[in-house]
């Protein structure tokens, strides 16, 4: 995984996210995502993002993993690869062009654990 500080900042999505969060706040709690790590595929086309998602007291904070196009911002929705209850130190690393490995599950309960997203095969290690 690349250090968090080396991920390029995409201000357009960030500013739009703040504006949307401001609009949604009046109707209930908005979810907030905190990126904790990422890994860019060997081709540079895809990105695996590990993030904590907090949707308020009703759901608490969970750890998510999503695969997105490297040119896109993280969407404001649950992870499309894996979701684990609580703050868990998940790690994502590409083992090939279309193979992603997720590890360091911790003790959180697994909510979602996909084995394939698009053309990417996901392997889970302890």
Taking the C-alpha atoms of residue 120 and residue 52, their distance in angstroms, rounded to an integer, is: 22
Residue 20: domain span = 4-124
CA nearest neighbour of 112 among 75, 71, 63, 55 = 63
Taking the C-alpha atoms of residue 122 and residue 82, their distance in angstroms, rounded to an integer, is: 10
Are 35 and 17 a contacting pair, CB within 8 Å? no
Q: How many folded domains does the chain comprise?
A: 1
pTM of the complete model: 0.76
pLDDT in tens, 69-102: 999 999 999 999 999 999 999 999 999 999 999 9
pLDDT in tens, 15-35: 444 434 433 333 456 899 999
Query: Which pair of tokens denotes residue 116?
Result: 């394939």
């Amino acid at each position: 995984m690349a250090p968090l500080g080396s991920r390029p900042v995409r201000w357009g999505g960030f500013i739009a996210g703040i504006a949307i969060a401001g609009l949604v706040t009046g109707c209930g709690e908005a979810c907030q995502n905190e990126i904790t790590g990422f890994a860019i595929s060997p081709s540079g086309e895809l990105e695996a993002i590990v993030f904590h998602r907090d949707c308020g007291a009703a759901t608490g904070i969970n750890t998510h993993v999503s695969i997105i196009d490297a040119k896109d911002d993280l969407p404001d929705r649950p992870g499309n690869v894996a979701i684990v209850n609580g703050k868990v130190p998940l790690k994502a690393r590409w083992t090939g062009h279309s193979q992603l490995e997720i590890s360091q599950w911790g003790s959180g309960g697994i909510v979602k654990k996909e084995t394939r997203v698009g053309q990417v095969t996901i392997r889970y290690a302890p």
